[in-house]
Amino acid sequence: MSEQWLSERAPGFKDLPSQDRSAIFDFASLWSLFEAQVMNNFARADRIREKVDEWTAAGTLGADLYDGELAYFRNRYFADGALTYHFHYLGLRPADHPDLVRAVIEGVNTDPRDRILALLMIVWRLRNNLFHGAKLAYELRGQLDNFTHANNVLMRLLERHGQVV
């Protein structure tokens, strides 16, 4: 019923392939689970940084487990020696560590802690852009790979740091 309603009223929704819709719906559920189980029901950029710092100190970061997802986002946001136009649409705010994200995306900063923090800031911005309507401005087109990779990050984090059974 809600899918029908969205198809009739949300710009571009009816034209999205089912695989795209599924990835977006999965992202919403995975983010909610991540926020509840890992972020104690309260995610913010500074609290995400604190979690990454906790995992680093505890030796549970596992940054190499996310290399595939980081490679995807690096390719999306940095090409031919420059940031792509996609990078600017993330809408990184000062609290989102934009300089760190940029350095990681450009490959200048390869510190494991910073790689995970940059990856989570990207997922955080995808979340904010989706939940606050920015993604609807261009009708959610071209987002399947973004949400598929973000979903992989969230599932892996939940497996490592959540209470998932």
pLDDT(136) > 80: no
| φ, ψ at 60 (rounded to 5°) | -110, 15
* Cβ pair 137, 105 in contact under 8 A: no
> 147, 161, 148: which is closest to 116 by C-alpha?
161
Q: What per-residue confidence (pLDDT) applies to 76?
A: 97
Tens of pLDDT, residue by residue over 4-23, are 898 888 877 888 888 988 99
Query: Which tops the pLDDT comparison, 155 or 1?
Result: 155
